[in-house]
Amino acid sequence: MKKISVSLSGHQTSITLEPEFIDVLKRIANARGVSVASIISDIDNTRTPDSNLSSAIRVWVLTQVMKH
C-alpha cells in the first residue's frame, strides 16, 4: 500500500492505495493533461456519501481501464 496526499476542497488528505492503482491513475492524469488531484477531486465530488474515497478511486480506475 502507498499513501498519496492531495488537497480536496482546501483540505489536505491522505489516500492509501495499492501502487498499481496509483500508477494507472497517474498515467490517466498525464494522458488527459490534468493533475491527479483534479481527478481525485472529481471522483470525490461524484461518489455517494457512504462510499470510501479509496474504494471509489479503485472503481473509477478499473472502469477507465475497462473502457480501453
pLDDT value, residue 4: 94
Read off the pLDDT of each residue in 19-33 and give the average, rounded to a whole number: 97
pLDDT bracket for residue 68 (50, 70, 90)? confident
Residue 20 in this model has a pLDDT that exceeds 90? yes
Residue-wise pLDDT for 5-16, tens only, equals: 999 888 999 999
Beta-carbon contacts of residue 41 (< 8 Å; ≥ 6 apart): 6, 8, 9
How far apart are alpha carbons 51 and 65 in whole angstroms?
A: 21
pLDDT tens sequence across 34-53: 999 999 999 999 999 899 99
Count of domains observed in the chain: 1
How many CA atoms, within 13 angstroms, populate the side-chain half-sphere of residue 27? Answer: 9
Distance (Å, rounded) from C-alpha 32 to C-alpha 50?
28
Which range marks the domain in which residue 60 is found?
Answer: 2-67
> Could you give the CA distance from residue 29 to residue 46 in angstroms, rounded to a whole number?
17
**pTM reported for the whole predicted model:** 0.92
